[in-house]
Chains A and B, each alone.
Chain A
């Protein structure tokens, strides 16, 4: 519940300037999407939707708006927007590779080789065509490895294919021609769409080592979707959501034999979530169920190690872009991390999405996304209810606040004695309602006085 105070404000840029953390009369929002987030914003007490040209305090924008407008939009101190200007340093495959490689070198210099191996969670990736020669070297060193070509920008799911023969990578036009000749049922294939008319957009791709021994459940391959909320990069403040899910492929996993002369295509792309709609109902497990399954199979210790390694992925990936991302205080971002587990229970980072799909594929999925977004808005705290020292808000646990956050009792500033246990609870029970009630109650009664 929002405390109503200082009602009324003037229009255009001359509106009543309130101090940043003061509770506002009403919060004017704009939303570029028409799915779950719009429902949540509309239902939030004290939040009012503004039309086209109206002034706003909060904007759930899309990336294209950001690209075109961010640089020349004046935002008051209290205003919040849901993307960082250059988030693509983290989310575009060629950039994250570059940033991680550089970060790894830095760690090796500062802390040694062993510590640097903690960055080895990204499958070997080479940008095309700039790293073509490096890729060729790697390819020759390890014959027989399957490589996957991925478009750099949007993971629309198109244009992803696997190959083993080097010559397939050289001439895109030739490859496209070959693809057009292939007929089912021998291969699944896709024509990739070039957003641009130019046919030789080779810089749009990366070649990535394909993980051939994924962990299978029921003979099926899956990946994990985990949500991380970053409130600032400098200092780095990141929250991890307890809920998430495992997305299963419809087909049984086999590395079908690759014909020597043709590129091998799979329908890997079909399983990738398109930004807007996931039609595969029933192909998801909530991550709690996944965690229980693994615990039953491998025991609690192995599972805790796995989840600790995932924490490491989140933190290291964010640290690797900390110095390059423009940490504008108006910005926050909710990332969708895609993680693949291999048969040795090692997690791999597949990609980071700055606009994870907020369209629900089922009732359960809808409820998850509602919880996620409500709690995101609680943390953004336009209502000014929080002290800033909280370690848990709803289903979010504070994972990093300019340093690791401990699970021990007390708030962020409380010193920790004894052994350190990370304040992450991915796959744990999400009893957020109770926690939120406790969290907001004292503030509410306090402000009434």
Chain B
């Protein structure tokens, strides 16, 4: 036992060291250490200890800690030293296969659009066009390109159809569906938490713990919770401690501190080299036009520009998403994402690996609603390069799981199953009723979860929800909230007799307060 734990630990340490070795933090630490040699407190006899002490007092040790913490959060712990890379992406074979065929479908759709419209996947812009785009960089939204021929590559409901057909070939659950079986759309046996486990997991959301989103409402005197919570938040920021911040935001972020707290948790510091990197991406956008750019334009125009609150940020969305498509550093996350970036071949060299490139360069093909991942962040970050980095980090930590097929507990398949199980277990009458009238609950809640509720909740509520995603480093809260919403509107839903009517009851979530809903569902409902 001890031996295995040790090997696991040393393996993890080795991997983290490996990843941090090439990072800018490493070179900064080296530079700092070298620079400290001139200081009087560094003595030759105790060089190692003195430098360590210096790094501690100057805050660099804290930064290293934050970086390590970040790595631990993002990269999965190695299961076994001999595990092949596909296993890290996704351990279950049937899931990998399903993801593979889904990807083939997406690519086929993209390629056929390409051929139909005779548009190349990528082309270099003529100088005149480059100049024009540079001038218009801050107001790309004023452009009205003809996007009628473009259509989104897929929409969430297409993806749901695929998930509904997922089956584990090694699992036979009997012939007749009955109350003992799962009545929902997802028919794969993944382990999901039940309410007692969720209560434990989300213990900081309990009734006896102060929450922003509940205990900061106008009727509650701020001395009871809010003032102290804000003070603690300011301390966390002064200490610049990622781990403490992550624990802190479980109770919600004060509005004025949220931007910095999220940056601390995601370990984003907006160094000069980060700004430079963003500028480089921007120049890539200026120089080359990609087919996916039109998809991005179309998505922004269809979704964010139509939203009452996010239309204002239209230009920022282009500035983030166009750069995102060209960011090859995003490719790194495919080592733990079940998806694989699509490959494209230079004209005439199909199949020849030397002429293969990933397309788009970041390997992520946007779908309908993709821009809504970025929109809420515009509320917090106004400097393009910082906004960009925050979004990129959110994507490679969380959002990618919402549109790839995997067995991960925060993957969309698990979230769907968690949602359906919670509903079937705790509101069986409602679930059965909805199923009978052809309104499977997941058909309605799927789009909420795929978008992490962006565009469905009021912005301040959405940000309180995303506080908890960051705090718990998990997306399971999305499934719990979806179930809580159904529970909240159960009375009305019991009256409806069609899918359309059920959709209508759940069409407008903009008045919901998420924290009370979550608390009631998890901690105050008699099951």
Contacts and interface: CB of A to CB of B under 8 A. Distances in A.
B382 A297 contact: yes
Interface string B217-241: 1100000000000000000000000
A296 B258 contact: yes
B279 interface: no
A440 to B, nearest CB: 19
A285 B218 contact: no
Interface stretch (B44-52, B171-179, B313-321, B477-485): B313-321
A299 B315 contact: no
Interface stretch (A43-51, A193-201, A212-220, A227-235): A212-220
A80 to B, nearest CB: 31
A305 interface: no
B459 interface: yes
A289 interface: yes
B24 to A, nearest CB: 28
Q: By CB atoms of chain B within 10 A, which of A218, A252, A300, A364 has the most?
A: A218
A192 interface: no
B380 A296 contact: yes
Interface residues of B, number: 26
A419 to B, nearest CB: 15
Interface string B5-36: 00000000000000000000000000000000
A1 B309 CA distance: 37
Given A282-B306, A293-B379, A429-B218, A252 B138 contact: yes
A218 B142 contact: no
Contacts of A429: 217-218
A180 interface: no
A295 B255 contact: yes
B256 A296 contact: yes
Interface in A291-343: 292-293, 295-300
A292 B255 contact: yes
A362 B307 CA distance: 13
A421 to B, nearest CB: 13
Majority secondary structure, A binding face: mixed
A259 B308 CA distance: 36
A218 B380 contact: no
Given A296-B255, A428-B218, A289 B138 contact: no
B495 interface: no
A289 B218 contact: no
Contacts of A362: 308
Majority secondary structure, B binding face: helix
Interface in B374-388: 378-380, 382
Contacts of B444: none
Nearest to B218: A429
Contacts of B154: none
A269 interface: no
Contacts of B459: 289, 292
A292 B460 contact: yes
Contacts of A299: 256
Contact of B312 (A218, A296, A364): A218
Nearest to A218: B312
Given A252-B142, A429-B217, A296 B314 contact: no
Given A218-B378, A300-B255, A248 B312 contact: yes
A429 B256 CA distance: 17
Nearest to B136: A252
A288 to B, nearest CB: 8
B311 A296 contact: no
A214 to B, nearest CB: 14
Contacts of A298: 256
A197 B307 CA distance: 45
Interface string B283-317: 00000000000000000000000111101111110
B275 to A, nearest CB: 19
Contact of A282 (B142, B217, B311, B313): B311
Given A292-B460, A431-B218, 19 more contacts: A218-B314, A218-B316, A218-B378, A219-B138, A252-B142, A282-B306, A282-B308, A282-B311, A283-B311, A289-B459, A292-B459, A296-B380, A297-B259, A297-B382, A299-B256, A300-B255, A300-B256, A362-B308, A429-B218
The 9 A-B pairs at the shortest CB distance, nearest first, are namely A218-B312, A252-B139, A299-B256, A295-B255, A218-B313, A300-B256, A296-B255, A217-B312, A282-B308
15 contacts: A252-B138, A252-B139, A252-B142, A285-B309, A292-B379, A292-B459, A295-B256, A296-B255, A296-B379, A296-B380, A297-B382, A300-B255, A300-B256, A362-B308, A429-B218
